[in-house]
Each structure stands twice: as C-alpha cells, then as structure tokens.
Structure 1
C-alpha cells in the first residue's frame, strides 16, 4: 500500500526524498505541488525529473479522496460526506456568507465526549483521523480555493487528536503549505486541559471553548467532560494567558429552551468570565433524535445577548445554516452508517 503525501510536513517530505535518494530541494517542490497547486497526481509534478516522479510513485501517492456524497441547502450551505479507509464516515460543512466562506472540518470518527446534545457523541468513538484525512476535507471540495476560514468544529474533539490537528495547522499556516494566517482558523474544544495548554503553547490559531452552562452540575449533565475538566479550571488556565494580541478567545453557548436560557444563566456567565478578553457565540439548538432538548426562541436569545453585551461581554447570535440538510453535526454520517448497515443486511 502506498503512503499519502498529502498531510506530510516539510520535515517529513525532507525525510521521504532523502530516503529515496532524491535532491533535498525536491521536498519543497513537492510541498508546492501539494499545498500550492493542489495536484491530484504525482505525474503533474512536472519540475521533478521523470525518473524521480517514477521513483516517488513506487512508494507514494497524493492521497486525496473525493467526498462520496454532498447535500446542498437552499441557503448555499453544503454538507460533504467522506468515507474513511475503514468504511466509516465523517462530515465537513461549507458555509458561504457574503464575502466569507467557512469550512467546518472533523478531526475524529465519532467522539468520546458524549455530549447530550450532539449526534456525533451518540455514534461512540471509532477512531481519530490522520493528518491526510483532516486536510483532505479541505483539499477535495470544489470550493477549496474560495475558502476564507476553517473551523475545527465538526465531528470529534480536536484536543483528543492533538498531534494530527497540530500538524494540520502547521501545514495550513506555514510558508511551505497553505500560508494562511492563524487568524483564519478556529479550533473548538470541550476543554481537555493538557491539550488546551499544549495548543496555547504551540499554535496561534483562534480558540473556541464549548461552555453551554455556567453551573458545573448542569454542565456535567450536558457535557460529561465537565467531571474531568471543570469549566472553572479551564477558565483559570485561560486567565493566565494573554488574549489581547492576535489570538481570539470565544465561548460557544447553545441556548436550550427552559434549560439554560434565563437571565440567571446570563448573570452567572458574566461572573464566570469577568475580566477575560473573550466573546460568546450564542447558538440555536438543532434538534436530534432521542434527545429531549429544544431550542430557545429568538426573543429569549436576543434578551440573553443584550444582557451579556450590556455587562461587558461581547455576544453574538450565530445564524442557523443548512437546517434543511441534516443541520446538526453527525446527522448525515449517522444516517449513512445506518443505510450502509441496511444495504449489507440485504446483501446477506
């Protein structure tokens, strides 16, 4: 089986060409073909000699794979489904919004965090994506050259697959790779402490922390990770970091009707986050099967936002997108996995 070039850092490409006896400068040439010109085959790398291309092809391939399915929303949102070599499915979502075009990418197949409101968590955990599989979500969609932003907010917990995520971020932001500003990338987490501390030390990309309740007991019901990684401890870690420069800190807060949407919660959020240079993104809940949670109405969300803003915390209401195409994360992949099982049963 050949090894994928997509997802290799410059250091790894240097090692590869050295092992094959190719000139050292070939590594940067290959990186340019991959991340600058986004070729689909080694044959397209025409500034490598024919001999070296043939040599490279004996051991390597580009490693890109097209999505197996795409669902298009009336609002322009596109949800892509990718199949892993193991036969699992992961999603990415393209979200156009005026001059902004964001891609939401996944970092794992399923998730260990089992948040009550998340369909991905209901799948359980099947494995972490490789750097190749993470970058392929960007590399292999038709809109790749129009992207302005990438958010790691899809399936999985990025800090539970941090080695691969950090290598993907390196390629996206390095001069030999995509050469994007770290300001174009946001990584979301439930708050795995060691991963958080390492991310803050090794990356300059934006950070988003899933919060969803300022009360620990209720947050633990919604997000079991609270028991191992209390939000108060996460906030204390963040207080010791200077967010006044380039990196942006935000908190994600889904408003559930009658659960965490009263001004009591807004007041507690102000207490919890007082003094932090941050923003709060208020999110409408997309219902998922088997979960007795409902979204808050717009009037409630507006009052919640206005209270936070009045008390010194910049808050926005995130527009809902793609509600007609399995909007909630994990819905499409879950449906496809179920369909695959049914097809296999019919074959038997």
Structure 2
C-alpha cells in the first residue's frame, strides 16, 4: 500500500493513537511513544519510531503513515510575511501564512479548502467549498513550514470557517495544547469565526483559546448584505452568547471589523458599534480592506480609520488599527484563494 492510501497518524489525539496501538497489538503506552515521535521529535517515517519493536513498526506501516507533507510552493513578501501552499481537498489547494513581527512569529492556518459562508469581501468564499481539512492537514501546516520551531502563535484565520469543521479544529487544538502533543498554552491560539452559535458554544466550553468574532457592520441589514450568515446566525445572538463567558483574565475576545469607505466607516457607525458592544469585555481590531477582483468595495482612508478608532476609544471600547501584512503576495486578510489543479 502506498503512503497516499494509508491513514495519517499526524493530527491524531492520544485517544485515537491508543486505538491504533490496540489495533496493531501494541501496549496502551505505545500511544504516548507514538505521540512523542510525531509531535516532539517530529519524525517523517514510521520506521523512525525506534522504541517500538520492529514487528510493531511493520504492522503499523501496513495501514498507517506519519502523513507529513512539505509545502508545494511559497511566496515571500517584502515585509517578511511568507505564504505557503499545501495540498487541500477537492482539487483546491490551501494556504497558510507565516507572519514575523519582532518577538512574535504567528502562523495563520486554514481549516477548509474554500468556504461555505459566502462573505462578499472574501476571496476564499468566492471559490466555493471544496472540502474540510482533517486535523492532520491542519497540524501539518504547523509542523511542515521551515519556521515551525520558532512559532509563538497560531491563528485559525486562514481559508475556511473553523466552526464549520469543528471536530477537526478541536482535535488540532488538543494536539497543540496537550502535554503529549506540542504542549502550547491555549493563550497562544486564536480562533476566528463568523459565529455559528451551537459550535461556538462548544468551542468556548471545551477549550480556553482566544476567540475573534467577524462583525464588520453594526447593524443586521448591513451585515447581512456583506455576510449572508447574518440571517442564520444573527450577530446579536452571537454577542448574547459571548456575554455568558469571562474574557477578563485568561481568555481574550476580539472583534474583527473590516472598514470600507462610505459603507461602515462613519462616526455614526462607530457609535452604533460601541452601543452593540457595550458591557462586553473585548477589543476591536480595525482592518484595512485589500482589493479583490470585480469588487465595488474599497478601503477607508487612514484619517477615517483613525477617527473611527479614536471615537470607539472615547466611548470606552478599546480599538486598534491592525497593521497590514503580506498584501504584495495576496496574503492579507480576505485575500487567500488557494490554487486549483486546473489553474495555470
């Protein structure tokens, strides 16, 4: 059996590795040995698991492989940002973005090939949905870039809606944060979402990661015109759920707000947003819009964004303007599009 036909061990939780160990006739503790080889020593081949017996490795290799795959291509920005292309699903590749910033090194990972949400301003949404990534696909993005060992933060802000592939995202978070895995603090991980309510509640209950909510408009009609999911998952309902959780200590809540000239960037919009967020412990990230083909949307100018930020701060809402990174390689917010096998 070729590796392509085998099941990937990368991305498996300790519970799943225990099932694999039992299936292959290995003792239960072999699961932790495998986890150590996969996530700490980061080996590339089952035969490298030298504290498993030769017979155990041969049995394991019949159905399973490590499942690591290097990026297919990369593009480097003048600001040091690097966009990596990985195999995806359904003929559509996926992208991950490495963002160095002084003492931080962040990787923006994808959770789906394409996206079902259909947001008007997003290149990923334009390409449609091609399939969910597995936990192994997600963890491979973390382990297989050249800068892997220096990463300080992970953000689920790449291609796809994480709450639309929650089981795989939760398994990936478990691998990232467990002592038998990468042993990261949950405070190093942020998950961005449009706010699928049932799934968001599960994320909040089962993890301690930071959360970023895509808002982008202070009123339901305007948000629905930009984000069709507003109809199914009204922002007011999402915010009501979030009010039941503590974001004052270990966990942080961010509000993502892309700014478009003449659409959502007036001081009146700032006041409406402040009213909407009143009493919620959060910070607002104001984001420049990066032009995508065939779109009539354009970004707000710097002075408008500064006035908007200052008005929010005056009204008691902490707001900052996010520094734009990687625009010259189409790696900035909303620009990730992957590459079809049919693309030239």
When the two structures are superposed, what TM-score results if normalisation uses the length of structure 1? 0.95
Report the Cα distance in structure 2 between the residues aligned to 1:62 and 1:87, rounded to whole angstroms. 22
Report the Cα distance in structure 2 between the residues aligned to 1:220 and 1:297, rounded to whole angstroms. 24
What is the CA-CA distance between 1:273 and the residue it aligns to? 0.5
1:309-324 matches, cutoff 5 A: 309-324=313-328
In the alignment, which residue of structure 2 is the partner of 1:346? none
In the alignment, which residue of structure 2 is the partner of 1:249? 253
Q: 1:82 to 1:115 in 2, by over 3 A?
A: same
CA contact (8 A) 2:290 2:333 kept: no
In the alignment, which residue of structure 1 is the partner of 2:237? 233
Report the Cα distance in structure 2 between the residues aligned to 1:316 and 1:124, rounded to whole angstroms. 31
Picking from 304, 327, 330, the partner of 2:331 is 327
1:77 equivalent in alignment to 2:78: no
In the alignment, which residue of structure 1 is the partner of 2:342? 341
Q: Secondary structure at the match of 1:114?
A: coil
In the alignment, which residue of structure 1 is the partner of 2:284? 280
In the alignment, which residue of structure 1 is the partner of 2:268? 264
CA contact (8 A) 2:121 2:334 kept: no
Matched pairs, number = 340
In the alignment, which residue of structure 1 is the partner of 2:306? 302
Report the Cα distance in structure 2 between the residues aligned to 1:294 and 1:28, rounded to whole angstroms. 51
Q: Secondary structure at the match of 1:324?
A: helix
Report the Cα distance in structure 1 between the residues aligned to 2:94 and 2:72, rounded to whole angstroms. 10
CA contact (8 A) 2:290 2:334 kept: no
In the alignment, which residue of structure 1 is the partner of 2:155? 151
What is the CA-CA distance between 1:127 and the residue it aligns to? 1.0
Report the Cα distance in structure 2 between the residues aligned to 1:295 and 1:248, rounded to whole angstroms. 27
Picking from 32, 39, 45, the partner of 2:43 is 39
Q: Secondary structure at the match of 1:84?
A: strand
When the two structures are superposed, what TM-score results if normalisation uses the length of structure 2? 0.96
CA RMSD of aligned residues (A): 1.3
1:138 equivalent in alignment to 2:139: no
CA contact (8 A) 2:26 2:56 kept: yes
Report the Cα distance in structure 1 between the residues aligned to 2:103 and 2:263, rounded to whole angstroms. 35
Report the Cα distance in structure 2 between the residues aligned to 1:147 and 1:342, rounded to whole angstroms. 31
Q: Secondary structure at the match of 2:329?
A: coil
CA contact (8 A) 2:127 2:337 kept: no
What is the CA-CA distance between 1:87 and the residue it aligns to? 3.0
After TM superposition, the structure 1 stretch with the greater mean CA deviation from structure 2, 49-58 or 322-331, is 322-331
CA contact (8 A) 2:176 2:183 kept: yes
1:219-230 matches, cutoff 5 A: 219-230=223-234
* 1:225-271 deviations in Å (ceiling 9; x for gaps): 00111111111111122222311011000011111111111101110
In the alignment, which residue of structure 2 is the partner of 1:207? 211
In the alignment, which residue of structure 1 is the partner of 2:97? 93
Unaligned runs of 5+ in 1: 344-348
In the alignment, which residue of structure 2 is the partner of 1:106? 110
Report the Cα distance in structure 2 between the residues aligned to 1:328 and 1:287, rounded to whole angstroms. 10
